Structure 1
Amino acid sequence: MELSFKHQLGLVCVIMLFPALCFCQEYTKSRATFYGTSDGYGTPTGACGFGEYGRAMNWYDGRVAGVSDLWRNGAGCGTCYQVRCLVPELCDTNGAYLVATDQGYGDRTDFVMSPRAFLKLGRDEYSSEELKKYGTVDIEYKRVPCTYTGNVLFHIKETSTNPGYFALVILNVNGIHDVTAVELYQMGQWKSLNRNYGAVFDFPNPPSGEIRLRFRVSGMSDWVDPMIVIPSNWQPGNTYATKVQLK
């Protein structure tokens, strides 16, 4: 049965729109290795500046990794990936879902994984232990939407001082989004925070009262309004839950 031009045009539009709806990214071939920690979780230090959050990253339960080119000068911090190894007799078909929390380099690798993440590559406990003997394995990976639980968080870095210096990390950014800019409202206008390093944005002379912030993410044309203000008595290390949950 032949389709009319009208139906053919509609079918083409659906086909063109479908990849945008499902984010059907192709897998990229690479290599992965792992680093050691005493408990298998991630490390609280690293080039993203996540601190203790970088050890577990919400429900990912320590399945984290340092990445090389995917770090993208810090824009790749907090992004999520599906990583599958390519040793058929040992590798799980789903592999590991993990978060980029650091910058890391191995032997021609894109991922230097925490022990908990690397062990997820194997189809069972025996297979995972056998994969560890390889040290570095061939993989394929693709970026996937993050699925953190809870709303977006503003974590004030421990290096901040009130008053005088303000630095923060934005956490729990779900979906396929990069935090591209952060602004602070001061004296009737929005002023840009500087990306100090990794996911850390700072402002050298914050206002003495409440702090109002907004941020921008890739894939959205408008600024994201967190619908909260940080109180004037904020302290380094405080974390504030916004009323925003991205998808």
Structure 2
Amino acid sequence: MAPALLQASSFRFSFALLAFFSLSNYCSCFNPRLYNFTESKDASSWSVAGATWYGSPNGYGTDGGACGYGSVVGTAPFYSMVSAGGPSLYKSGEGCGTCFEVKCTSNAACSGNPVTVTIIDECPGCVSESFHFDLSGLAFGAMAENSQADQLRNAGQLEVQFRRVECNYQGYRVNFRVDPGSNNNYFAVAIEFENRDGDLSEVYLQQAQNPNEWLPMQRSWGAVWKLDSGGTALRGPFTLSLKSLQSGETLVAQNVIPAEWQPGATYSSDVNF
């Protein structure tokens, strides 16, 4: 049945071997604390988790990631404020795109102020606590008092508090990045920048030539969804229908993939949750 239409690795316990990079390499034009990325739902819903960091001290951690976002996590609207999640956060890929506030008070360098991160990778070995964030170096340091980011990263591992919040990629619409292996019989796409819940439970594809048929896509891995046509050529343009995992809200990106789509290309819709 067609969905209702609504318009609108390896455990990276890396301390970077304490190879201190000069803070002068970090662009002072961006302050993670000041970026209005999310809005909390419940001021009393903090839980406890473990936190480590990986990658370069001021980098975005992942060199690819188990969600399929690639290096885009180092640019707007993520701004490297990202994290790999232990199994209870990554959720076999279902947790990709979810947003959390994370803060620390367990170290003298902690500011106690929350920073917002998006789950963009998996940390399968992060199982010593019920919840674990393997943060990017930049996100880990952003929990520190001013000028104490390196001191906080030196701690390597911390106890933190966290809570889930709504994603709010201001000014951005949902993006669809076509997998380089896609062809006329197999179509796969990484779905990025979903506001609010950030995660998806269902994706359907509709071909312009058959507007009465919605073809269900399957989660390939992470945030990548796929459709194998079974040998029947798929013909664009494609309309994609997305169903949010948490709220069940449905969003339709009409004709977002053009007729002459290209593997590896990214197509931006004009809608978001």
Partner of 1:75: 94
How high is the TM-score relative to the length of structure 1? Answer: 0.82
Partner of 2:176: 154
**Is there any run of 5+ residues in structure 2 with no aligned partner, and where?**
1-38
Aligned identity (percent) is 29
1:80-99 residue CA offsets vs partner (Å, 9 max, x unmatched): 11111122532112232111
Q: Please give the alpha-carbon distance, in whole angstroms, between the structure 2 residues aligned to 1:85 and 1:61.
A: 20
Deviation larger for 135-144 or 209-218: 209-218
TM-superposed CA distance for 1:30, in Å, is 1.2
RMSD between superposed Cα atoms in Å: 2.2
- Residue identity opposite 1:208 in structure 2: R
Partner of 1:6: none
TM-superposed CA distance for 1:134, in Å, is 1.6
The alignment status of 1:166 with 2:184, answered yes or no, reads: no
TM-superposed CA distance for 1:22, in Å, is 6.6
Q: How does 1:48-197 map to 2 (within 5 A)?
A: 48-56=67-75, 58-68=76-86, 69-87=88-106, 89-104=108-123, 105-106=125-126, 108=128, 110-126=132-148, 128-149=149-170, 150-161=172-183, 163-186=184-207, 187=210, 188-197=212-221
Q: Please give the alpha-carbon distance, in whole angstroms, between the structure 2 residues aligned to 1:46 and 1:88.
A: 29
Q: Which residue, 203, 210, 216 being the options, matches 2:227?
A: 203
1:172-219 residue CA offsets vs partner (Å, 9 max, x unmatched): 111124211100125431111010111110012261232221111134
Partner of 1:10: none
The alignment status of 1:37 with 2:61, answered yes or no, reads: no
- Residue identity opposite 2:167 in structure 1: C
Q: Please give the alpha-carbon distance, in whole angstroms, between the structure 1 residues aligned to 2:228 and 2:138.
A: 38
Bigger RCO of structures 1 and 2 (CA < 8 A, at least 6 apart) = 2
Deviation larger for 143-152 or 114-123: 143-152
Q: 1:95 to 1:244 in 2, by over 3 A?
A: same
Q: How does 1:210-221 map to 2 (within 5 A)?
A: 210-221=237-248
Q: Please give the alpha-carbon distance, in whole angstroms, between the structure 2 residues aligned to 1:227 and 1:59.
A: 23
- Residue identity opposite 1:43 in structure 2: T
Q: Please give the alpha-carbon distance, in whole angstroms, between the structure 2 residues aligned to 1:76 and 1:29.
A: 18
Q: Which residue, 41, 60, 80 being the options, matches 1:23?
A: 41
* Structure number with bigger Rg: 1
Number of paired residues? 223
SS in 1 for 2:151: helix
Q: Please give the alpha-carbon distance, in whole angstroms, between the structure 2 residues aligned to 1:112 and 1:230.
A: 34
Q: Please give the alpha-carbon distance, in whole angstroms, between the structure 1 residues aligned to 2:246 and 2:197.
A: 8
The alignment status of 1:228 with 2:247, answered yes or no, reads: no
SS in 2 for 1:125: coil
Deviation larger for 112-121 or 87-96: 87-96
**Is there any run of 5+ residues in structure 1 with no aligned partner, and where?**
1-20
How high is the TM-score relative to the length of structure 2? Answer: 0.75
